[in-house]
Amino acid sequence: MTANEVIAAFEQQHAQLFEKGLFITGIYQDADDNQSKDGLSIGIAHSLEPDDEIKPECCHMSVMHPFIFDNRKIPESFIGVRVMNIVQADTIPPEIEEIVYDPAGFEDWHTPGQYERYVRENMIEIRSALKQPDLTYEEALDAICFGDFAKYKQEHEERRLKRLLS
């Protein structure tokens, strides 16, 4: 299967996401020789051309969307290709990017507390943008916070503790 065929199939299956502002930035070959012990790729992935044949397990598709977006609808993978979910930087509200200091004095931003405050203060706007008038507070947190706010909160706390112990 070519990169172009994967993109076309994704666009067809997830057409409703494109109507809400999602776009594909490309399909990229993962740099498997630069893996950290956490499985994260270090360095720049190689961009694939539309007609390049792909090995789904060795590449990822990057998708980008506005900050207020229902991330729960973006799959983690599509026909074996990992989907990298990216928020357009110019749509992130300043209150999410505002630097705060944790109790140990470390700089932090995009904290669970910042997301919680943003959702509380902007529930009407979020419901309107997502066209979901009955969206609950918890659903809104999941929607704008990569699909699973509880997981995001746990991962954030793990990173914070790791920083403290280093």
Q: What is the pLDDT of residues 85-130, one digit of tens each?
A: 999 999 999 999 998 887 777 788 899 999 999 999 999 999 999 9
pLDDT at 45: 66
pLDDT at 43: 53
Q: What is the mean pLDDT of residues 145-153?
A: 94
Q: Which amino acid is at 117?
A: R
Please give the structure tokens belonging to residue 122: 């902007």
Q: Residue 133's CB: how many other CB atoms inside 10 A? A: 8
Burial code (b: 16+ CB inside 10 Å, e: under 16) for 54-92 equals bebeebbbbbbbebbbbbeebbeebeebbbebebeeeee
Q: What angle, 0 to 180 degrees and rounded to 10, lies between the N-to-C axes of helices 123-130 and 137-144?
A: 70
